[in-house]
Amino acid sequence: MAWSSIQQIISPYTGNAFIDSLVWQDHYTYNYELPQKGYIDYTFNTASNVAQPGLAITALSDTQQADVRQALAVASSVTGITFKEQTGQTSDDFVFGNANIGTNLGMDYTNYNATENGGSITGLTLNDTIVLGTSDADNAKPDPGTEGFATILHEVGHALGLDHPWQGPRALPSSYITGTNTVMGAGGVTPIPSTYGNMDVATLRYLYGGDGLLGTYGLTVNAAGAPVSNPPSNYMATLAGLPPINGTVSPGPTTESDTPAWQTASLTPPATFGMTALDLFLSAQSASITQHTSAYSALAQA
């Protein structure tokens, strides 16, 4: 399976304000990884860190590892993705550890490397290094119900393609960014999330369909390997209780390379999906795309 351009596999907006506030457009979903495995590897082996090799990472404790497994089980229940724990590998999809990252509670560093042959993308490797900040006491025992557990969910959300709903060109008003609606807020929300919120679930179902990697639904590929958008019919069901947003949604503060824009937002079914070109290209003379690393602070302390 292959496609002709890396630009084909970004996550298009849907036309729904709640979902679009969380769609991280220039993050490639794991549906598109080549070769395709149909699952996501993860490890606690810090030697597997390839997304941020300059960062000093230490191993998670047994308690922290158990809580990461619980968080991945939550993600699996929403997306249908199978997460397989690995040991001894050095190229896992998700790598978890601890790190000194200042006042940030957690960080996700994402990396991709694509290869081309004869005008087609023939390989796409995705890696995410997810770290818990050593400065926060909650991260030492990040059980469900703590901000530490919410941090893990938040960072896994980034790795799966969720953005901050308060940043970028399609930011939501702060009144919608509650612990019930999303775990992708900036911290200090109530209640402290122990699962993905209403908006998170709708967005993850849009991205992955709820039937796992390479399933029938979500942003996936057809038999020829071409990208397709096929969300399940009920993917917006969790948004039913949210009041429509009338008027415009202004761009929020951003540290990302988002282009500010205005959006007329309403709770309506998505229009025809359109692909937005990234500021990336694949040169016919190049065998690979330069590695791209993005770091996002999560649940940052005030």
- Segment 177-228, tens digit of pLDDT: 888 999 998 766 777 999 999 999 999 999 999 999 988 899 887 777 778 8
Q: Give the other-Cβ count within 10 Å of 99's Cβ.
A: 22
CA dihedral 71, 42, 230, 298 (to 10 degrees): 50
Element (H, E) at 19: helix 17-20
Q: What is the pLDDT of residue 135?
A: 92
Q: What is the pLDDT of residue 4?
A: 67
pLDDT digits (tens, 9 = 90+) for 233-251: 999 999 988 877 654 444 4
CA pair distance 90, 156, nearest whole angstrom: 19
CA pair distance 108, 156, nearest whole angstrom: 8
For CA atoms 186, 190, 194, 195, give the dihedral sign: negative
Residue for token digits 């991205």?
A: 207
pLDDT digits (tens, 9 = 90+) for 259-293: 222 222 222 222 222 222 222 222 222 222 323 33
Q: What is the reported pTM? A: 0.82
- The CATH number of the structural domain formed by 6-255 is 3.40.390.10
Domain borders along the chain are 6-255
Decide: helix, strand or coil at residue 125.
strand
CA pair distance 238, 163, nearest whole angstrom: 18
Q: What is the pLDDT of residue 288?
A: 28
